[in-house]
């Protein structure tokens, strides 16, 4: 038996955390099933920020799944190295992340979950749409929207944004952030303290991995799927079968990275 199944000491903690935050166990992403013009899929959300965190990203299909496999392109990140995903011809795309509160409600293992915080990944067409909405309104923070997706070819975050209203906001003196005042949106931690939903720490969520790790993930020598198995099994309730994009459509249409709603796990609840 080889000795490579454990590490003693703290050297790999950072690496594991990066894998957790950029791989299958990262923050769940906003996603909508395809829908049609007559029967669009619909969800409501509240924007928590409106200045997208933009970068190039890869979404390789690993273990038969696109979902959960988002990796920051490392072009220009590690001096003198080429991004391992680019080197393996995995297409990259430009994406801007904002944070939303997903107001939909669902049941998982007998518990009702709602108001989950999600990363909203906007590709170029959606970024342009958000830019227009922001220009018109001044700010998107605290605005509530009914978002619809009316076609399989439409961006999988949704293509129709209907303004519903504005939530009351209060400024946090320490962080300077505008927070939702309404306590129905706040979440309770294990100690029973309630917190307002705040935007994600994108730098942490999307920290670039060393190219060696990216290459290992692509070659399958990192079996990260074992971690996300349970997520995937549970999320099949959400009906996203048959809506996986191919690289080609992905690259040209600006639609879909194939992410599905993730089931809550210990780290995600109540987000």
Residue whose CB is less far from Zn ion, 59 or 240: 59
73 lies in the binding site for Zn ion (CB under 5 A): yes
Indicate the residue among 21 and 238 with the shorter CB distance to Zn ion. Answer: 21
Q: Which residue has the tokens 């952030």?
A: 177
Pick the stretch among 24-32, 76-84, 108-116, 210-218 that binds Zn ion (CB under 5 A): 76-84
Stretch that binds Zn ion, among 36-44, 73-81, 128-136, 171-179 (CB under 5 A): 73-81
Output the DSSP codes for 37-64.
SSS-EEEEEEES--S-EEEEEE---BTT
Q: Which is nearer to Zn ion, 45 or 73 (CB)?
A: 73
Does residue 146 belong to the site contacting Zn ion (CB under 5 A)? Answer: no
- The whole-angstrom distance between residue 145's C-alpha and the CA centroid of its chain comes to 18
Tell me if 86 contacts Zn ion by CB under 5 A: yes
Segment contacting Zn ion (CB under 5 A): 14-22, 88-96, 170-178, 193-201?
A: 88-96
Region of 3-11, 71-79, 168-176, 197-205 interacting with Zn ion (CB under 5 A) = 71-79
Site size toward Zn ion (CB under 5 A) is 6
CA atoms of 135 and 129, how far apart (whole Å):
10
The span of 20-28, 83-91, 158-166, 199-207 binding Zn ion (CB under 5 A) equals 83-91
CB nearer Zn ion, residue 81 or residue 182 = 81
Among 34, 85, 140, 154, binds Zn ion (CB under 5 A): 85
Distance in Å, CB of 234 to Zn ion, minimum: 31
- Give the residue with the Cβ less far from Zn ion, 79 or 176: 79
* CB 90 to Zn ion: min, Å: 7
84 near Zn ion, rule: CB under 5 A = no
CB of 89 to Zn ion, least distance (A): 10
Phi then psi dihedrals of residue 243, to 5 deg:
-120, 35
What residues numbered 91-110 form the site for Zn ion, per CB under 5 A? Answer: 92
For Zn ion, which residue of 83, 97, 100, 209 counts as binding (CB under 5 A)? 83
DSSP the chain: --STT---SSTTHHHHHHHHHHSTTS--B-------SSS-EEEEEEES--S-EEEEEE---BTTB-TT--EE--TTTSTT---HHHHTT--EEEEEEEEEEEEEEEEETTEEEEEEEEEEEE-HHHHHHHHHHHHHHS--TTEEEEEEE--TTS-TT-SEEEEEEE--EEE-TTT--EEE--GGG-EE-TTS-EE------HHHHTPPPPHHHHHHHHHT-S-THHHHHHHHHHHGGG--TT-PPPHHHHHHH-------PPPP-TTTTT-
Shortest separation between residue 176's beta carbon and Zn ion, angstroms: 34
Work out how close the CB of 31 gets to Zn ion at its nearest, in angstroms, rounded to a whole number.
22
Residues that bind Zn ion (CB under 5 A): 73, 75, 83, 85-86, 92
């Amino acid at each position: 038996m080889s000795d490579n199944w454990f590490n003693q000491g703290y050297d790999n903690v950072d690496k594991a955390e990066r894998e957790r935050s950029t791989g299958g166990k990262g923050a769940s992403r906003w996603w909508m099933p395809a829908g049609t013009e007559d029967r669009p899929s619909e969800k409501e959300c509240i924007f928590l920020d409106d200045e997208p965190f933009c970068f190039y990203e890869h979404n390789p299909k690993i273990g038969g799944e696109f979902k959960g496999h988002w990796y920051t392109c490392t072009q220009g990140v590690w001096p003198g190295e080429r991004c391992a995903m680019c080197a393996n011809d995995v297409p990259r795309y430009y994406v801007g992340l904002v944070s939303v509160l997903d107001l939909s409600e669902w049941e998982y293992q007998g518990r009702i979950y709602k108001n989950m915080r999600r990363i909203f990944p906007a590709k170029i067409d959606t970024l342009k749409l958000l830019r227009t909405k922001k220009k018109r309104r001044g700010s998107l923070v605290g605005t509530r929207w009914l978002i619809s997706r009316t076609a399989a070819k439409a961006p999988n975050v949704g293509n129709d944004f209907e303004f519903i209203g504005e939530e009351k906001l209060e400024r946090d003196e320490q962080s300077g952030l505008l927070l939702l005042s309404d306590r129905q949106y706040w979440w309770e931690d294990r100690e029973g303290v309630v917190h307002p939903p705040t935007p994600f720490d994108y730098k942490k969520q999307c920290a670039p991995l060393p190219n060696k790790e990216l290459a290992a993930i692509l070659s399958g020598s990192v079996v990260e799927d074992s971690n996300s198995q349970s997520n995937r099994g549970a999320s099949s309730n959400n009906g996203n079968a048959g809506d996986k994009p191919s690289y080609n459509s992905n690259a040209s249409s600006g639609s879909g990275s194939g992410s599905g709603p993730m089931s809550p796990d210990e780290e995600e609840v109540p987000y």
